[in-house]
A = this chain, B = another copy of it.
């Protein structure tokens, strides 16, 4: 985990469409909260077998102490993973937390938020602290034991004072 002093401010999310939420969600709205973002693609085997189940376990273990979001960062097979497929995927896999579709400047290529966060692929897990700083950016498989420890520490950090 990146120390709070060295951590950069997490870039804003650029989302073209949200699922499982009434309105759009911005990181600014989540200031003061610990946020876990699971970046995935619905046709990514490692996301289905590891990343998304781990995100569910985060939500189950931490409840309201962590805000869990999904981010559908389509950087390949773009036509195969349109929002209509994502909606059915979220329903079939019983994913209940809010999921945003990472926006593209133009069709194809890397989506905007994925580029801003310099994600190396999917699945990636991003942790953001109460002050909006990017504290973990992990590609692939990370043990629950390690993620549980990282989240406990972020939860226990004092929220930033109002002057910040």
Q: Which residues of A contact B (CB under 8 A)?
A: 42-45, 48, 57-58, 60-62, 76-77, 79-81, 84-85, 87-89, 91-93, 143-153, 155-156
Contact B156 A61 (CB under 8 A): no
Which residues of chain B come closer than 8 Å to A84, judged between CB atoms? 79-80
Contacts A43-B92, A145-B147, A156-B156 known; list 20 others, CB within 8 Å: A43-B89, A45-B93, A60-B143, A61-B145, A62-B149, A76-B88, A77-B85, A77-B91, A79-B85, A80-B88, A85-B85, A143-B144, A143-B148, A145-B145, A145-B148, A148-B148, A148-B149, A149-B149, A149-B152, A149-B155
Q: Is the interface of A mostly helix, strand, loop or mixed?
A: helix
